[in-house]
């Protein structure tokens, strides 16, 4: 806090450093880390989940949604404000004074913004064509998640 009082623009450097050093953790903790963040899934699992979520998100963009520009702008603005508030609160409450980055933020704290942001994206196409792609991806995610979660829990708590 002392540094930001002397130079209020240091907040931009702190934000840059936070994103540069913690973005992988945010993604992994949004997808899921078991226990007290001490039992991660394998790296390929996170990549598979990111790919599946990306496919579902891209397909979702093609669904019928609002094209109301003021509504989209207000939803987008609320996501930015909410995310900034999460980082600001943890910077003030959890991060040591003078730290170069914000500590304590987990990816799950930002899931609300991701959901709202998906509604704010403009639609490109009308109809339910996206369901052809989305439903198999959802089933695949569930299958991979069930198998890999079971394997990780068994190895973490019973076989290690």
What's the pLDDT tens digit per position in 115-140? Answer: 777 767 665 444 555 566 667 877 88
The better pLDDT of the pair 149, 10 is held by 149
Cα distances (Å, whole numbers) of residue 86 to 6, 51, 93, 111? 23, 26, 11, 12
> Whole-angstrom Cα distance, residue 27 to residue 51?
12
* Residues 26-66 pLDDT 10s: 989 988 888 888 889 999 999 988 888 777 777 666 555 55
> Whole-angstrom Cα distance, residue 151 to residue 156?
8
- Structure confidence at residue 125 (pLDDT): 45
- Structure confidence at residue 150 (pLDDT): 92
> Whole-angstrom Cα distance, residue 39 to residue 51?
21
pTM for the full model?
Answer: 0.69
- Residues 6 or more apart whose CB falls under 8 angstroms from that of 82 comprise 112, 113, 116
DSSP string over 79-114: HHHHHHHHHHHHHHHTSPTT-SS--S--GGGGHHHH
């Amino acid at each position: 806090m002392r540094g930001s009082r002397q130079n209020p623009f240091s907040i931009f450097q702190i934000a840059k450093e936070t994103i540069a050093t913690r973005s992988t953790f945010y993604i992994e903790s949004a997808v899921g880390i078991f226990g007290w963040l001490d039992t991660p899934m394998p790296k390929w699992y996170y990549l598979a989940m990111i790919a599946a979520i990306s496919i579902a998100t891209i397909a979702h963009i093609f669904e019928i949604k609002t094209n109301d520009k003021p509504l989209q702008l207000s939803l987008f603005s609320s996501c930015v404000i909410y995310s900034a508030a999460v980082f600001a609160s943890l910077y003030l409450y959890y991060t040591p004074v003078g730290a170069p980055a914000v500590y304590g933020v987990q990816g799950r704290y930002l899931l609300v913004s991701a959901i709202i942001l998906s509604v704010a994206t403009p639609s490109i196409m009308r109809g339910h064509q996206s369901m052809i792609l989305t439903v198999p991806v959802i089933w695949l995610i569930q299958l991979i998640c069930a198998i890999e979660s079971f394997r990780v829990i068994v190895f973490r708590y019973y076989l290690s």
